[in-house]
Amino acid sequence: MSKGVTVWFTGLPCSGKTTIADRVAEALKKKGYKVERLDGDTVRKGLTSDLGFSKKDRDENIKRITFVAKLLTRNDVIVLATFVSPYRERRRLSREEIGSFIEVYTKCSLEECMKRDVKGMYKKALAGEIKDFTGVNDPYEEPEYPELILDTDKESVEESAGKVIDKMRSFGYL
């Protein structure tokens, strides 16, 4: 049986957080681990549907997600959380509250994120149609001391997912 942990993927929109976490979840589930995915798009359809994208609302969004991740983690579930979560202080508070926490920074150039953007969000933000969009007209504060940095514009999804699993193993969660 595994110990619970929250693996918190942070990075610009379209940097690979969801794709990599989905691959990790698939690999871990095949090995019989209890895994739960918490993803920005999914959570905003339910738990945080009342929130917008102001700094106050983003912080509240992450605060609520942190509470759910903490409950799952303490019940020995591996939580793979994929959220832009652009503010360092809020991520620090999440780490503190959850306890068993691995921060993974999906580092990717803004140019590459824009190329990957199938929803056209960056284009809309640059045209002024979306305000408070991280990386365009709202800041993204890179993690200062993440446990893992994935250079997602230089490595494959398989390489990145493998690094996450290796890191979890090295910390004794697998």
Q: Which distant-in-sequence residues (6+ apart) come within 8 Å of 95 by Cβ? A: 8, 101, 103
Exposure string for 5-20, b = 16+ CB within 10 A, e = fewer? bbbbbbbbbbbbbbbb
Asked if 66 contacts 97 with a C-beta cutoff of 8 angstroms, the reply is yes
Among 15, 85, 94, 100, the one annotated catalytic: 85
Dig out the tokens for 136 from the structure.
């365009």
85 is catalytic: yes
| Measured distance CA(103)–CA(34) in Å, rounded | 19
Exposure string for 82-115, b = 16+ CB within 10 A, e = fewer? bbbbbbeebbeebbeebebbbbbbbbbeeebbbe
- Active-site positions read 85
